[in-house]
Chains A and B, each alone.
Chain A
């Protein structure tokens, strides 16, 4: 299967790989996994007091499409509000990276990672 140029670019030069200090109160973490392929994705967001996502980092174990999807998402969410980030759809990711149908689940995983991180943010806020 041929990867698109954008997937290869993100795979070879992944943006924002790594972790924030998880004890930093402004950091929330979204952990998700896809049983079908065993991929594991961790997305961390650093969210300011104004609810704007200041920074994002990821760590993904999986195929090139899963790495590219999470790398792309870290670029997209920066500077966005929680609501704007929550509105990112897997179809947007799949389209941007020209993912073939068998790799759509990688973009679903990335969308779910954003949602999981935002869920943690909301439950933190509610406390």
Chain B
């Protein structure tokens, strides 16, 4: 299923998420099961299936990581079920350092300062990865697609770090 086609976008990483949200509402209305309440059972079943597709498509295109994964899967690179191990030592050392920094937040005297600092560091690094990803996805070469897959893997680690940071911050506020 090509969700870019479903939502009438060209398969690029940079999409207008406001337009995406508008098209999502239009599509939702067009396929909503309520519209087919008096139709045949087959029609109603189809409407339920299409609604699920529209929802899944929206969730996929809305999230930058899943959108990039979708572009790559359309180009034959499946990242969503992979168990590939990342071995980029410099990157992993940085991940370790950030994980250690997360652990140290609780013992620090000024939680918020460290939390803010980490938010900024994570955002800056994500931005760097996203810029590379955007360029590599737009080039169309197979070599760049493989490099783009690496940026997606790294962004997944960053998403995990971000979740952890948010969880720690929430716990401290309680």
Contact = CB atoms under 8 A, between A and B. Distances in A.
Interface of A: 29, 31-38, 40, 42, 59, 61, 104-105, 108-109, 112, 116
A25 B91 CA distance: 23
Interface residues of B, number: 22
B96 interface: yes
Contact of B161 (A38, A42, A108): A38
A31 B96 CA distance: 10
Contacts of A61: 95-96, 99
Given A32-B92, A59-B96, A61-B96, A38 B157 contact: yes
B98 to A, nearest CB: 9
A35 B96 CA distance: 14
Interface of B: 79, 82-87, 89, 91-93, 95-96, 99, 152-154, 156-157, 159-161
A39 to B, nearest CB: 8
Residue from A29, A33, A105, A108 with most neighbouring chain B CB atoms (10 Å): A33
